[in-house]
A and B are shown apart, each in its own frame.
Chain A
Amino acid sequence: MTDDKDVLRDVWFGRIPTCFTLYQDEITEREAEPYYLLLPRVSYLTLVTDKVKKHFQKVMRQEDISEIWFEYEGTPLKWHYPIGLLFDLLASSSALPWNITVHFKSFPEKDLLHCPSKDAIEAHFMSCMKEADALKHKSQVINEMQKKDHKQLWMGLQNDRFDQFWAINRKLMEYPAEENGFRYIPFRIYQTTTERPFIQKLFRPVAADGQLHTLGDLLKEVCPSAVDPEDRVSLCRSGWSAVVRSWLTATSTSEFK
């Protein structure tokens, strides 16, 4: 029998084969070889690309190096989006590996946030977790946690330790047995063709008549255009680690990318 755990593991260990190439206009001392890496879908670009940075810095002069940023087919990649989201949103129909161009110059200030250090990623990640828990439990669970639990969540992500992460995260995913689910489902819907970066609304797992909502219901309500198969939709839950729960019926999973 398949268990939730199997699903969680597969989501966690999702990997995207990526080929990093240095932007052609970057000034190098010798030719820069492309760099190949398996990126964890659930992590952030700037968190897992130390090796890439090191690799390209070797062939560059120190004075030409400023903050690293990534771009795919002309689109700057937002580091604060999970990697899997970026891929599904921009490149899921292209051939693998995913070709990402690495830049060290001309930081696109209007498109990207700066990422001065890992602390910025941690702060962003924790704020996502807190936002999600605010929706799920009125922040009760995350606020009751100790500092070291928060740290363990972050370290679990950073070290790609499933057990370490889930030992804490399970508390965030529980709800009292007498309730049928979270207060609200934390989710964001990202679309490629929109002026809004994402759609986010309050949505309860249980309808007023007691019926459990499906993912289909959610899409119909917050994003009717998604039901039209022409439009590509990528659904990513804020606090991305949360995996679809049982209120989503089998019929609606086809819409889950």
Chain B
Amino acid sequence: MPNSVLWAVDLFGRVYTLSTAGQYWELCKDSQLEFKRVSATTQCCWGIACDNQVYVYVCASDVPIRRREEAYENQRWNPVGGFCEKLLLSDRWAWSDVSGLQHRPLDGVALPSPHWEWESDWYVDENFGGEPTEKGGWTYAIDFPATYTRDKKWNSCVRRRKWIRYRRYKSRDIWAKIPSKDDPKELPDPFNDLSVGGWEITEEPVGRLSVWAVSLQGKVWYREDVSHSNPEGSSWSLLDTPGEVVQISCGPHDLLWATLWEGQALVREGINRSNPKGSSWSVVEPPGSENGVMHVSVGVNVVWAVTKDQKVWGIGCEDRTVYFRQGVTPSELSGKTWKAIVVARECDRSHSGSSSSLLSAGCFFGDEVRGSGESAPSDTDASSEVERPGPGQPLPAEPLDDSKYPTGSSASGPGAGRTAEDTTEDACPAEGSRAAGPDTHPGPAPTPAELPWTNIDLKEPKKVPSHSAAGFPETTSLSSLGLLPLGLEEPYGVDDHPLWAWVSGGGCVVEACAMPRWFTVQAGLSPSVQTLSLSITPAQTAAWRKQIFQQLTERTKRELENFRHYEQAVEQSVWVKTGALQWWCDWKPHKWVDVRVALEQFTGHDGARDSILFIYYVVHEEKKYAHIFLNEVVALVPVLNETKHSFALYTPERTRQRWPVRLAAATEQDMNDWLALLSLSCCESRKVQGRPSPQAIWSITCKGDIFVSEPSPDLEAHEHPLPCDQMFWRQIGGHLRMVEANSQGVVWGIGYDHTAWVYTGGYGGGCFQGLASSTSNIYTQSDVKCVHIYENQRWNPVTGYTSRGLPTDRYMWSDASGLQECTKAGTKPPSLQWAWVSDWFVDFSVPGGTDQEGWQYASDFPASYHGSKTMKDFVRRRCWARKCKLVTSGPWLEVPPITLRDVSIIPESPDAERSGHSIALWAISDKGDVLCRLGVSALNPAGSSWLHVGTDQPFASISIGACYQVWAVARDGSAFYRGSVYPSQPAGDCWYHIPSPPRQRLKQVSVGQTSVYALDENGNLWYRQGITPSYPQGSSWEHVSNNVCRVSVGPLDQVWVIANKVQGSHSLSRGTVCHRTGVQPHEPKGHGWDYGIGGGWDHISVRANATRAPRSSSQEQEPSAPPEAHGPVCC
């Protein structure tokens, strides 16, 4: 959970931020300006300053915001001078845009605003569709406009090349002024209110934000083209409104509400992905005719409003009954919140002398709640209200109090694809009970001096700590929550009680499981909370534990040393754990059968302990049993699905058969008990304990479970290597999509939600509690992934596309293959560990593209789908996604804030360590930026900061070899080599484009000591030929194998892959760990595969294993044939 911040403005217009990890308000870094209104998202904050100008504050990040400018140089061949700039009259401009219609000379391309700077000069793009072009980057065609090719042919009459230049947004961490109005005809009309939202409507790469503003004259403006990569937007456009608008609020999704002077509320309809401005307004009458709405604030699917009589109203956007059931509680909660704020104030007063201001905001959050939109002005003290600075307050009817209300996604019923229309229809204003009950004093709103809330506070301050403290955890189950920002700042100026004027929680993401420590402070515990973390450090605890251990050891020595020959009072005996489980039987038809199981632990003659697992079953009314020696078990894998708590036991033989012993327990607890006990027994019999060694091999299953194996020295022996089905894998807590390690013990992982994690040195966590887990270094970890289902339709001449298919068709709601029926209501999260955290939404980012509603068309099922309808298309489908979330624990700490797609750590760099250079670590961000981590060392595996390495396109995969060779794969499938990377020059100097294998798009690359392997999208594994120290790019790709889905090359140039379609005696298995055999210095490609554990493995990293085999004494022996010399089976 990355830190996010709450933004607030105090009465003097100073802007403060409060981090979810912090406990103090921090003054905004750029404090030159005074503001009257702010509205924040995670990336940036918009504000209206006291000069009535709009500013945007973009938070600094290690990754720059960069935009590419392009221009095309066009030339025509003529017999005299060859290709030259003289074009025909009918031709395009010599310098043009991509279409050729617009004149675009290089020096005519200007920076859009003073907030941008050029990154470099113009240069020619020599990459053409993933292929490098001849020098000069020219592409040829018969005529304009036409299809261009790389090769110059006899009939190539024209040519063109692309010039590119990057500009970079430089005004970060400062308030950048937005030009007021572009149209000079518009009267100067200062803005009065502003709201930012809509970030849930479009995902990356569109990533648009909706910025709405209201002018003093009551007009509504929309800022065009605001996105992450264009933080300023382009221009303001005016929207017609049925009346004069006072105030506006935009939710993170498609909700937009505004209030009119007359007291009605306006709802914008028709806002969607393709039309972020919406299409029309509809008017909502206020709850009471005399008391108009003064202020509204919206969340994902809830609206809160303040009316002129100081009542707070809530409107659920779902159906009314749902709302009513939940409505009461949020309003009660908001009551509590206000109380909590009171306490904050008391508490604040008792603190003195602290230079930074103290927090005091109340927030309520549900599961996965986002603080959205914006929130309200708040005044806590009438006396200081009078002192409120005037300039920023052009409106006499300043709303007094209100709140903004994000909602928990759990509120949304399944299968409710809401649109703006639905919203208004259902949004019959329902009354939430009055927020603060007796605390609410109806009063005339427009007079700022009479602030009803002022009197609440001092009434019952005593009661509050328990209320507020107890209130937070309880609310977590609620779906709709609010954020009630109010509070005070530490008095340190002339004025004794500076007050907040405005708060925005749009950028503030708080999870129920990780409450910021804002509230604890209020409960009067602030000093203790701080000292608690300071008083006993982990280092002290470790030292203390060590001391105890030493004392115990001394005692044992003292009391036992001379008496070891004494008889033990209690003879060691066999311990048996028995239980009832279900077993996936070995005979056909395979099914779950009830069995009794018994685990017998006994101590052998040598003192070593061993265990046997017995499975007692009945077949044909005959009692039988099967048994497994736990010292033969190579892996224990939890297999959680929607219904069963099951796990699989692998032995070498079972690994070869691709048929593990599968057992299921009745409850999750029962399964965890068995898993922990069996795992402990396995580890004990193999004498594996504590943290994995730095050389450990890491792997991940398709369920995100993390496994680690200690490499034996003969694993990479040239002769008789250890068969990899005998490697023992043990599980480490946590949930990851990929993991990379190096031989200094630096381990990084990336979750399904692209969060970066660094290994802390612990073990256990997750389902391994108690003895199987380390005491420290275990932290909460969460992950989010999407579940996808497909909506399928067939065209018929009468009604067009409908959900009525032919009898032979697939289910109208199905999985990707069409074979399984998957309805919105019937689809469950992948296992009981996962919980839904969003509603179903259309996924537009599917390969092949979609139309505006997300449909993909094809001539028939199953076929290749495309994004626009043609005459031949009779079926269409669209992909729906729903986010689900898992919370577990493991030895992982988040590396915020940048999310990653790939990461690679230099396998071995003892030299760098000695010379004081950090360990080289490269990564690809979620957006495709190439990043180089600085400050990584064995002691500080997380490093310190990212260094951005510019590229001309988004990248997908990266790998750094032991000699600082950096190879990468771009999203267009082409490979790149980074030149001149040294310990002293960690980012290198330039990219060299390496052509892909013919007609293949690469997707992953892995570099060992000298070997370079790449993987294409069709599962082919390629070896780079001809790499020499003087020519590190190599000469060509050589095919090694097919059916490979992941490759990892280690520091001994050992090659391990995850392969599909591996034959076992029972079945073909996907996701099998395979080891390349026969890899030698003079034969780096090896000649066969050895198969290890499989059936659902997704990822492996052998890059930490630099353990060389001890020199064999039998050098004269002929190398024996590898165990299996054929490649993975072709299909």
Contacts and interface: CB of A to CB of B under 8 A. Distances in A.
B740 to A, nearest CB: 23
B754 to A, nearest CB: 26
A16 B673 CA distance: 33
A14 B557 CA distance: 10
A43 B570 contact: yes
A39 B527 contact: no
B673 A167 contact: yes
Contacts, number: 146
B990 interface: no
A192 interface: no
B526 to A, nearest CB: 9
A14 B527 CA distance: 41
Nearest to B691: A1
A96 B673 CA distance: 41
Contacts of A171: 770
Given A246-B541, A246-B544, A210 B531 contact: yes
A170 B570 contact: no
B60 interface: no
Interface stretch (A3-11, A125-133, A135-143): A3-11
Q: Which of B540, B549, B563: most chain A CB closer than 10 A? A: B563
A97 interface: yes
B186 to A, nearest CB: 55
Interface residues of A, number: 55
B1118 interface: no
B566 to A, nearest CB: 5
Contact of A210 (B525, B567, B601): B525
Given A7-B549, A38-B560, A210 B570 contact: no
Contact of B535 (A15, A160, A177, A212): A212
A17 B563 contact: yes
Interface stretch (A111-119, A229-237, A248-256): A248-256
Interface in A1-51: 1-8, 10-11, 13-17, 36-40, 43, 48-49, 51
Interface bin, chain B: 35 or more
Contact of B575 (A5, A39, A97, A163): A163
A201 B775 CA distance: 28
Contact of A163 (B535, B541, B601): B601
Given A10-B553, A163-B601, A210 B560 contact: no
A245 B783 CA distance: 31
B563 A4 contact: no
Give chain B's interface secondary structure class. Answer: helix
B665 to A, nearest CB: 15
Nearest to A11: B552
A244 B1110 CA distance: 45
A159 B573 contact: yes
Given A16-B559, A211-B528, A212-B532, A253 B569 contact: no
Nearest to B543: A250
Contacts of A36: 563, 566-567
Interface string A186-226: 00000000000000000000110111100000000000000
A13 to B, nearest CB: 8
A246 B568 CA distance: 32
Given A14-B552, A96-B563, A2 B546 contact: yes
A171 B547 CA distance: 26
B535 A167 contact: no
B769 A170 contact: yes
B553 A210 contact: no
Interface string B517-531: 000000001011101
A134 B555 CA distance: 32
Contacts of A66: none
Nearest to A17: B563
B569 A49 contact: yes
Contact of B548 (A1, A206, A244): A244
A178 B769 CA distance: 17
Interface of A: 1-8, 10-11, 13-17, 36-40, 43, 48-49, 51, 96-97, 155, 158-161, 163-164, 166-167, 170-171, 174, 177-178, 180, 206-207, 209-212, 244, 246-250, 253, 256
Q: Which 6 A-B pairs have the closest CB atoms?
A: A210-B528, A170-B770, A17-B563, A250-B544, A48-B569, A160-B570
Interface of B: 473, 525, 527-529, 531-532, 535-536, 540-549, 551-553, 555-556, 558-560, 562-563, 566-570, 572-573, 575, 577, 601, 673, 676-677, 680, 690-691, 761, 769-771, 774-775, 780
27 contacts: A2-B546, A3-B775, A5-B771, A6-B549, A11-B552, A14-B559, A17-B563, A37-B567, A38-B569, A43-B569, A48-B569, A96-B559, A155-B575, A164-B575, A167-B577, A167-B770, A170-B770, A210-B525, A210-B528, A211-B535, A212-B536, A244-B548, A246-B545, A247-B536, A249-B536, A250-B540, A253-B548
